[in-house]
Structure 1
């Protein structure tokens, strides 16, 4: 009976508990927050969350603060014990950390990283139970409050990636007796000094990066005051640091296991104090601006427990032999990984040396100045598994690595290896997985016999060995399954390599520029589904493309450009992030665009094909993914579809060299992220929309060349402060040139100069350089790698009137200005010489008058000039630059004279310079006396005829009188009276 009663009571208890749980459905494991703590949280929200980003107490059914985002309560006591709110773009808290949180007396975890908090409040010391505090990635500035010393239970403190924290005193740090991890970035220790820094007794990980660490007076410190037995990991990256500070930190522990000091600016030589850290196992000294002397290298070589040593990017000089000998102390037996890449090491790789490194598995010597041939035997590193030699100057045949039986990874690209010697490199290396020998000068033939001994091969790269031929039997079945095949610019064709169909694990395939002239076989779709990178460009592949079952989550790059593919583009290619189909013969893209419901394409290039008809109105399928679209040099016609405006993330839109007509679609103004807009060489009409200048604040490149636009140049274009290339030429634009062009900030300041105009996507790991055809100095070129260096304004071949605005002379970064073939009048701006970087200036075929400004002679970089067909007058300013141009640069200006003009009919001067000699000064007014010379010629003819008549008709008496008169005239001429008379007439007329 008693048992029955107990069971009934137990069942009632369970039912009551279940009912309680159901009543608290949605609560955090049954916790109910305490009212006082809820009010503290709401008060914090009001201060830190003015934008109402936190979903705290948004409705009456969400009153339990234990269920609020980022809040954790204790299941037993219901107290708030953790706040964890990681901010992200568009949803960040800000302002100050409200002291209302001090009411949360049981809080032990507080993480507010990646927000917009600007100051650490003093009340932070109220959290007596706090064990974890993370305020990293906030724009916090000011001093660290000493109240931090009250957090005696704190174990993890993260103050990394803040704004500009400075340290008044470090006394509080020694009071954090429970601290194990401390990260402090971008702090200034100048005021407090490191002498006050005391390592907490149990601190194991210390990270002080991007800080200013001043000189330390080591003589005033006793090792007993700052030495710790618990500090295992010390990170000092990106600091401006004094060598004495490095010594002080190295002496902070007797048992350092890992030391990371990368990208520091060291005020002096790297100290030799590292020799005392006998327990060091991993040392990373990468990219420091300090000299590592032989003494330091010897100290590193004597660390008997060291397994990893990274000395890359340090400008180490001398020979490889000397560096290895300095490191060949007691560390040579324990060292497993050695990075010496990206230095200035020279000399050869020695065959055998006195000291060996028996445990070394990874040796990186890439990007140095090593030269000579590779030794026939490399016994110095018997356990080597990875050898990186790329980017050196090694010569001779490929090395014989048969003695290195453990070698798995061999990288030797971008050297000067020649010959084949495939048997020596391959023979006996059954463990080889990665073989990378691209960009050398290898010659000969590689067949299946050379590769058959590598059953474990996963990556094969022979790219850019143009004299190397790979010849395999059509029925060959390789013994390996490759993940990477890179055979670019080898000789693999003419047939498509059939052995590829056996490689079912491929993720990267590059067979570009291989003279393959065949169709892509149907079986290729069986291996394409796993590809992340596919490059078959620059071949002679033809026919239609097979259906590629690409997996959108994996594929990154597909490059099929420069082939002879035709027909329709398959829709499955829309899963590629970067898709290049340019320079083919495709005629249709409708299925590709309109059947791609969930397109992942970010970069799409279908330029230089034979696509025709209307551009499909299906761009909504790419609305948020597409960043780059290039469709120029096709045969599209009719209007640009309105759905193009759904590409709200588009940064580069190039539809030039087609037959588009009508006005620009108004929906295009939604594409506010545009950096490049190219609609040149079409038949677009109407006025240039004002929203181009109002909406496209990031526009760098604008080309509306050769269309049918009319009306004025919109003043709103002056808002394009980042514009570098503006081409509105060959249209019907009228009105004046806006003087506000001086608002083009990128043409005013040199700090806007970039070599490339880059379009950066989201999922694609690389970036894309914008390319375009530009009329440069009268000739069309295609620019890509240096397009960003150009600063160009081309308004030529329009109907523009008025004067050239003087404000244009403020654009000091301008490299080309073309205002030719308009109806411009007035003078050339006097300060045109301010454009010191101008290389091309064309003002021809206008109605410009007045003199050529003297300042034009100051343009030392100018090598293309055309001022012809204007109404300019006066003498051409004298300078080496202006006289170096052909006379055609100045012709058809009937008032212009002086070198290089030589034809007096054009320059207004006589061949002997008779009258021109009276106008040597540029400031004198020049008058055209060609009529006067013509009159002299006519008079001479008439006079000569009269003399002849006298001889024939008139009698002797009159002839005698006539000759006496001529004798008198001669006497007058001998006295210079006539010459002076003519000079007087000349001056009077001037």
Structure 2
């Protein structure tokens, strides 16, 4: 069961719009007694009672619907028949501070309706609570009525580690949730790492992104069941060595921090297969570090300041299949060391030359550079998509015509004067974008071509050959 903000707390401390709330299930004026059953019915008080959402709400002022309201959470509690009084039910909340209200109904029909409806509520168990984007400065007390939470979302609030006033519920109390698996504290005002979460043994996913964190404490190594650890958008420059004790950890996201190197402890996290360090402060990619991380298949280093790849006595990096280096400051790139790469992103660098291994290459994204030379060897027979637009290429490399699975080719915004005729005979090519070049002519006739989209706008073409599309299906 998932419960959202209105089910747990209202900012004013009172239920809102009781008279018109769509969440009201039952309501009426009945004889009510709190916590004491051994009193004659004429000693009880006539009050308004409302079954609203997951709570029983009872007015504290006689014959009043506008006074202060008592809220009794029913989830996990009890609804029981009271045999000593006719048409009477006992409503009890769960937990060590349990409270009980007794209500005597006017007739059996009312009694039965309340018994059926309230019993359904009491039998439920809260497993997921979403309190994101609620402007919370501290944790609401009602949150702790259920100890069975498995998922808690507190994203984008104003939570701090030590709230004021001192009576407010602090984040240190989160350790009371002994069954919690997923906790999202991202986009708050923590400033420091919330140590209490390290005492939740069941936690498998923790998100503390965007909290101005400057360090991660060594005690995180005690979270032996943690699998996903999101630390994006902080001011981190290092990680503690104790992370190596987190053997279940398979996803760590470190994007948009202040790392200047790949943290050495990641070599010990062998369950990880993706390195997520976009938006950091790296100016050199040390390939020797990647060599010591054979479990990493996907490398994401976008939006750093990388100017070169450092490769002293390095062998092939067979394990990397996806490499993302877009939006860096590379002037040249020899990526042949990644001999099993399938997808390469290197858009928006300053590349003049680019060398890639073609053995398993499936997609190449190299637009918005200054390329004059593109070398792929051997011929990439698995290549399906290539974008080399917005460069300084004067000729299309011959190997492109021999790439048997190429479906989409974008060479727009270059300085290409002629397209090889045999390019159009490629049986897999469906889309060819060659606009904004210097093309002066096209083949006289496209035969046996499978091209479906041909873009040659903004070139130097004076006319299209009269038979160009005569045999183009």
Q: TM-score range by the shorter chain?
A: 0.5 to 0.7
CA deviation string 1:760-818 (max 9, x = no partner): xxxxxxxxxxxxxxxxxxxxxxxxxxxxxxxx422234444433535437567745x33
Match of 2:75 in 1: 426
| Aligned-partner Cα distance in 2 for 1:400–1:854 | 78
Match of 1:727 in 2: 387
Alignment of 1:688-837 (within 5 A): 688-689=355-356, 692-693=357-358, 695-696=359-360, 699-711=361-373, 714=376, 716-720=378-382, 723-738=383-398, 741=401, 743-745=403-405, 747=407, 792-805=408-421, 807-808=423-424, 814-815=430-431, 817-827=432-442, 830-831=445-446
Compared CA separation, residues 373 and 458, structure 1 to 2 (3 A): closer
Match of 1:509 in 2: 182
- 2:226 aligned with 1:555: yes
SS in 1 for 2:307: strand
Match of 1:288 in 2: none
Asked if the contact 1:598–1:621 (Cα under 8 Å) also holds between the matched residues in 2, the reply is: no
Asked if the contact 1:569–1:586 (Cα under 8 Å) also holds between the matched residues in 2, the reply is: no
Match of 1:319 in 2: none
Match of 1:843 in 2: 456
Match of 2:309 in 1: 639
| Aligned-partner Cα distance in 2 for 1:541–1:858 | 63
SS in 1 for 2:151: strand
Match of 1:586 in 2: 258
Match of 1:779 in 2: none
Q: How big is the shift at 1:398? A: 3.2
Compared CA separation, residues 832 and 629, structure 1 to 2 (3 A): farther
Asked if the contact 2:381–2:405 (Cα under 8 Å) also holds between the matched residues in 1, the reply is: no
Match of 2:207 in 1: 535
Asked if the contact 1:607–1:634 (Cα under 8 Å) also holds between the matched residues in 2, the reply is: yes
Match of 1:660 in 2: 330
Match of 1:11 in 2: none
CA deviation string 1:614-634 (max 9, x = no partner): 2244123311x1122211011
Greater gyration radius = 1
Match of 1:486 in 2: 152
| Aligned-partner Cα distance in 2 for 1:657–1:734 | 24
Compared CA separation, residues 714 and 460, structure 1 to 2 (3 A): closer
Q: How big is the shift at 1:700? A: 2.8
SS in 1 for 2:77: coil
SS in 1 for 2:319: coil
SS in 2 for 1:558: strand
| Aligned-partner Cα distance in 2 for 1:459–1:857 | 68
Instruction: Using structure 2 for the length normalisation, give the TM-score.
Output: 0.61
Asked if the contact 1:828–1:853 (Cα under 8 Å) also holds between the matched residues in 2, the reply is: no
Q: Which of 128, 139, 152 is equivalent to 1:472?
A: 139
- 2:190 aligned with 1:518: yes
CA deviation string 1:237-287 (max 9, x = no partner): xxxxxxxxxxxxxxxxxxxxxxxxxxxxxxxxxxxxxxxxxxxxxxxxxxx
Instruction: Using structure 1 for the length normalisation, give the TM-score.
Output: 0.32
Compared CA separation, residues 457 and 556, structure 1 to 2 (3 A): farther
| Aligned-partner Cα distance in 2 for 1:850–1:635 | 46
| Aligned-partner Cα distance in 1 for 2:384–2:74 | 52
| Aligned-partner Cα distance in 2 for 1:425–1:855 | 76
Alignment of 1:957-972 (within 5 A): none
Aligned-pair Cα RMSD in Å = 4.9
Alignment of 1:100-249 (within 5 A): none
Match of 1:953 in 2: none
| Aligned-partner Cα distance in 2 for 1:588–1:648 | 25
- 2:345 aligned with 1:678: yes
Compared CA separation, residues 492 and 522, structure 1 to 2 (3 A): closer
Compared CA separation, residues 427 and 532, structure 1 to 2 (3 A): closer
Compared CA separation, residues 615 and 737, structure 1 to 2 (3 A): closer
| Aligned-partner Cα distance in 2 for 1:853–1:376 | 79
Asked if the contact 2:229–2:251 (Cα under 8 Å) also holds between the matched residues in 1, the reply is: yes
| Aligned-partner Cα distance in 1 for 2:398–2:177 | 62
Q: How big is the shift at 1:533? A: 1.4
| Aligned-partner Cα distance in 2 for 1:604–1:482 | 34
Asked if the contact 1:597–1:621 (Cα under 8 Å) also holds between the matched residues in 2, the reply is: no
| Aligned-partner Cα distance in 1 for 2:471–2:234 | 51
| Aligned-partner Cα distance in 1 for 2:285–2:387 | 24
Q: How big is the shift at 1:556? A: 1.8
Compared CA separation, residues 716 and 796, structure 1 to 2 (3 A): farther
Q: How big is the shift at 1:579? A: 1.6
| Aligned-partner Cα distance in 1 for 2:279–2:185 | 19
Asked if the contact 1:463–1:486 (Cα under 8 Å) also holds between the matched residues in 2, the reply is: yes
Structure having the higher helix fraction is 1
| Aligned-partner Cα distance in 1 for 2:437–2:235 | 44
Asked if the contact 2:440–2:462 (Cα under 8 Å) also holds between the matched residues in 1, the reply is: yes
| Consecutive unaligned residues in structure 1, runs of 5 or more | 1-371, 378-395, 403-420, 431-447, 748-791, 860-990
Alignment of 1:58-69 (within 5 A): none
CA deviation string 1:505-554 (max 9, x = no partner): 455233255x41221336247337753211234x4444333346346973
Q: How big is the shift at 1:612? A: 2.7
SS in 2 for 1:745: coil
- 2:290 aligned with 1:619: yes
| Aligned-partner Cα distance in 1 for 2:243–2:469 | 54
| Aligned-partner Cα distance in 2 for 1:397–1:745 | 61
SS in 1 for 2:206: strand
Compared CA separation, residues 500 and 400, structure 1 to 2 (3 A): closer
CA deviation string 1:929-949 (max 9, x = no partner): xxxxxxxxxxxxxxxxxxxxx
Match of 1:55 in 2: none
| Consecutive unaligned residues in structure 2, runs of 5 or more | 1-21, 28-50, 58-69, 80-92, 100-122, 162-169
CA deviation string 1:102-146 (max 9, x = no partner): xxxxxxxxxxxxxxxxxxxxxxxxxxxxxxxxxxxxxxxxxxxxx
| Aligned-partner Cα distance in 1 for 2:72–2:469 | 67
SS in 1 for 2:237: strand
Instruction: Indicate the structure whose relative CO is greater, using CA pairs within 8 Å and at least 6 residues apart.
Output: 2
Alignment of 1:273-422 (within 5 A): 398=53
Compared CA separation, residues 718 and 638, structure 1 to 2 (3 A): closer
Compared CA separation, residues 478 and 621, structure 1 to 2 (3 A): farther
CA deviation string 1:652-690 (max 9, x = no partner): 211111123444154222xx2x3321122234454534x
